Structure 1
Amino acid sequence: MSQQKSEAVVEETFSDDDIAEYLQRHADFFDRHSSLLMDLKVAHNPGGAAISLVERQITVLRQRSQDLERQLKELVTVARSNDLLVARLHRLSIRLMTTPGHAARIETLETCLREDFQADRAAVVLFPPLQDETIAREGFLKIVDRGDPGLKPFASFLKSARPRCGLIRGRQKTFLFAENAREISSAALVPLGAQAALGFLVIGSRDPDYFNPEQKTDFLARLGELVSVALL
């Protein structure tokens, strides 16, 4: 059989996948044929100069190491952030539990959101019936009937009754923050009570990316549970 025919048979018999599978099943192949490592060449970058397989492997391992280091840093950052949030939630719970009176707890909640949670603006919307001592607090607490027309922009949120983060729309901002509406770009909406039966809490930020839809809302759900109990 001629050399040309032999090469054709080899090409038909061994595909790229066959070779890859063989190398996977024989991980010691290059240990037994180490001289090939320096002879085999791969492109360093598309269109770039060829480098040895060993150099390419070192480059890949270095990149993987950098990726793992970046992921580890991200995990550490998230863990520290979570610890900070837990500490803030703990302080809020203590302050609310040690504050007598419904109206006083509303005031304490506003102070904590501003000082501990760095809220640029915050608001609580409560639905009747309420405790007798609960009175609207200008710029923070609104008491409205659940059927109030001003709540229409919040319809999907109230229907889902789940915490939500993201950009806040014009009519929503106006309803919540009135003359300060222009200051706020993003917000976290937190239902209070089962199916938002008590109302909802809003934490606003000037930063449009501070609250975004990709954020986890577990912490906000816990915050909502805590505030709901405090306001019952």
Structure 2
Amino acid sequence: MIDQPPASLSPGETPINGVSHDPEAEAVIAYLLRHPEFFAEHDELLVSMRIPHQRGDSVSLVERQLKLLRERNIEMRHRLSQLMDVARDNDRLFEKTRRLNLALMDAGSLDELVITVEDSLRHDFQVPFVSLVLFGDNNMPVGRWTSSSEAQVAIGGLMGEKAVCGALREHELAFLFGAEQGRQVGSTALVTLNHQGLLGVLAIGSRDPKHYKSSVGTLFLSYIADVLSRLLPRLTQSLRSVR
């Protein structure tokens, strides 16, 4: 008895390499036989297909080229996915930074400014350790104050034009976050507040020793520091006038 073509095939069509016993494969074969132009209209699928060109133990140059192109295509997709993730993270950071800077500019007092930056970093940015140290010869009733000379002794090597990231020494952590919290901080990002004079430092900490490292970007933290540096002299002077 002669085998009949599968019911899914149109009259005159025959299965490839004999009768297929896989219903899904039969359906695909039948569809492709009815639509021979399919891959011409969807040539992007050819990149992911595996079509061997072997001759004995050898592999043809065409197959080798296709394999390399396929691997590079997968690698480029992974890189693109990583770039998209970074872009989304930056978008979220930008929006949080924008909201914080607008709130800082709306602050009507030094007290409100200090509360705004600390609350936003802790709750909106989810930073577990925040330190805003202001420099002045006389302590103010608002915020944490110390003399610039004392700060130079404790963290002088960290203060400069650029933000600093990494693991700090024990006495540096104790100065910034206090002895108890300092022991919990694994890595720190610190930026100096400097506008027509040294005004203070802003530091954020993480329990993860690798969270803030030298290669991490500090652009958004620097933006926040720039706004703080321009607002602090005006609000500090207003507080002195009230006193």
Amino acid at match of 1:163: A
Larger deviation, residues 192-201 vs 53-62: 192-201
Residue aligning to 1:135: 141
Q: Does 2:127 match 1:125?
A: no
What does residue 26 of structure 2 align with?
none
Structure 1 residues without counterparts, runs of 5 or longer: 1-36, 42-48
2:158–2:164 contact (8 Å) kept in structure 1? yes
Paired residues for 1:24-103 under 5 Å:
51-103=59-111
How many Å apart are 1:74 and its aligned residue?
1.4
Bigger Cα Rg: 2
Structure 2 residue aligned with 1:109: 117
Tell me the SS of whatever aligns to 2:77. helix
**Hey, what's the Cα distance between the residues in 2 that align with 1:68 and 1:230?**
45
SS of the equivalent of 1:104 reads helix
Question: Which TM-score applies when normalising by structure 2?
Answer: 0.66
Aligned-CA RMSD value: 2.5
Q: Which amino acid aligns with 1:118?
A: Q
1:136 Cα offset (Å): 5.3
Q: Quick one: structure 1 residues 153 and 195, their matched pair in 2 at CA, closer, same or farther if it must change by over 3 Å?
A: farther
Residues 153 and 65 of structure 1, relative CA distance in 2, 3 Å threshold: farther
**Count of residues in correspondence between the two structures:** 180
Which range moved further: 76-85 or 187-196?
187-196
Q: TM-score of the superposition, structure 1-length normalised?
A: 0.69
Aligned equivalents of 2:181, 2:142: Cα separation in 1: 17
Whole-angstrom distance in 2 between the partners of 1:102 and 1:193: 17
Measured at CA, do residues 72 and 128 of structure 1 come closer, stay the same or move farther in structure 2, by a change above 3 Å?
Answer: same
C-alpha distance in 1 between matches for 2:58 and 2:168 = 52
Runs of 4+ in 1 over 3 A off after TM superposition: 150-153
Task: State how far apart, in whole Å, the 2-side matches of 1:172 and 1:81 are.
Answer: 30
Hey, what does 1:166 align to over in structure 2?
A: 166
Alignment of 1:207-218 (within 5 A): 207-218=208-219
Q: Name the CA distance, whole Å, in 2 between partners of 1:50 and 1:170.
A: 63
**Aligned twin of 1:190:** 191
Paired letter, 1:69:
R
Give the secondary-structure state (helix, strand or coil) at the position aligned to 2:125: coil
Secondary structure at the counterpart of residue 188 of structure 2: strand
Equivalent pair of 1:188/1:204 in contact (CA under 8 Å): yes
Q: Secondary structure at the match of 2:210?
A: coil
Partner deviation per Cα, 1:18-77 (whole Å, 9 max, x = no partner): xxxxxxxxxxxxxxxxxxx978x9xxxxxxx86332222122111211111111111111
Task: Give distance in 2, aligned partners of 1:74 and 1:152.
Answer: 42
| Counterpart position of 2:149 | 147
